[in-house]
Copies of this chain bind each other. A is one copy, B any other.
Amino acid sequence: MSPGKVLALTGGVGGAKLGLGLAHCLPPEALTFVVNTGDDFEHLGLPISPDLDTLLYTLAGEANAAQGWGREGESWTTLETLRALGGAAWFQLGDRDLALHLRRRELLDQGARLTEATAALAKAFRVPQALLPMSDSPVRTQVTTEQGLLAFQEYFVRERCAPAVSAIAYAGAEDASLSPELAAAFADPALSLIVLCPSNPFLSVAPLLAIPGLRAALAARRVPAVAICPLVGGAAVKGPTAKLMDELAMERTPAAIARYYDGFIDGLVLDQQDEAHAEAVRETGVTPDVAPTLMLSLEDKIALAEHTLRFGAALSA
């Protein structure tokens, strides 16, 4: 369907769902992921990369889909013991998930960049696609709330997105550079399409756009870039997207999403429920397209991936 390579920019669960669909549509070497690391932090000495792991576990068929994070069939012996010892148990690491984090710690301690550590983990999970962190330099999403400045995980996990948000910053992004692997992916002459997965614009995609090199590479793209609107009927499928749009005084419409991605996308896939918004999207200079964007089953994911690839191919024609 797509003769060239696809670069998929992704964050959390929604992005990983489309990622799985794309993985079913494309040969492994034709699909590269660029993954948000703004949610990363260090916890109990372990390097935590939630979005990388959500994608990795999803592609490996190990994700706990009901829960939205962590692994299927997980046990909790270490966390329960840690809690009994008075340790921090608010960030839930299962026994198997912990092993991945210890391995990442080991690889980083041996001098691997996060990109290299991620490649080793993907190989261990027999995931053949390239998973590239958005940068090897630390970028940390920080949320200014009515309770003051919160690190992302404090806001997201500890406070469960409850405090009203007035601003979001991406600390370190200005100084973050593109990894050689990511620069090569953008420069690859076989690249044919860039996909912005249906992830939270502020928390999953904006951290990528905050990195000057990534921003420039996207703006200078020679191939179409297509986003999937994360809203369905003005609501988010999952997570705080809609709440954040209200708090940041942004209209909860596909056109607002199109304007938010101004200069970085050529097309926007809207959910079929939002067909009436297509004209408003077109008025922003972005080509609209309509498809079922809810991804409940694997078939849904594959269908949306196929649709997105067709749409991208049509845009470049």
- Tell me the A residues contacting B by CB distance below 8 Å: 44-46, 75, 77-82, 84-88, 95-96, 98-100, 102-103, 105-106, 109, 120-121, 124-125
Cβ B109 vs Cβ A81 within 8 A: no
A99 vs B87: C-alpha distance when bound (angstroms):
8
If over half of A's interface residues share one DSSP class (helix, strand or loop), that class is named, otherwise mixed; here it is helix
Cβ A106 vs Cβ B44 within 8 A: yes
Q: Which B-chain residue is minimally distant from A105 (CB atoms)?
A: B45
Query: Contact partner of A77 among B77, B86, B88, CB < 8 A?
Result: B77
A105 vs B45: C-alpha distance when bound (angstroms):
6
How many copies of this kind of chain does the complex include? Answer: 2
Which residues of the other chain, B, contact A96 by a CB distance below 8 angstroms?
Answer: 77-78, 81
Which residues of the other chain, B, contact A84 by a CB distance below 8 angstroms?
Answer: 99, 124
Cβ A78 vs Cβ B102 within 8 A: yes
Which residues of the other chain, B, contact A77 by a CB distance below 8 angstroms?
Answer: 75, 77, 95-96, 99
A102 vs B42: C-alpha distance when bound (angstroms):
12
Smallest Cβ distance from A317 to chain B, in angstroms? Answer: 43
Query: Which among A98, A100, A105, A121 has the highest number of chain B CB atoms within 10 Å?
Result: A98
Cβ B99 vs Cβ A79 within 8 A: yes
Smallest Cβ distance from A254 to chain B, in angstroms? Answer: 41
Cβ B88 vs Cβ A106 within 8 A: yes
- Can you add 5 more A-B contacts, CB < 8 Å, to A78-B78, A81-B100, A82-B103? A44-B105, A78-B95, A78-B96, A86-B103, A86-B124
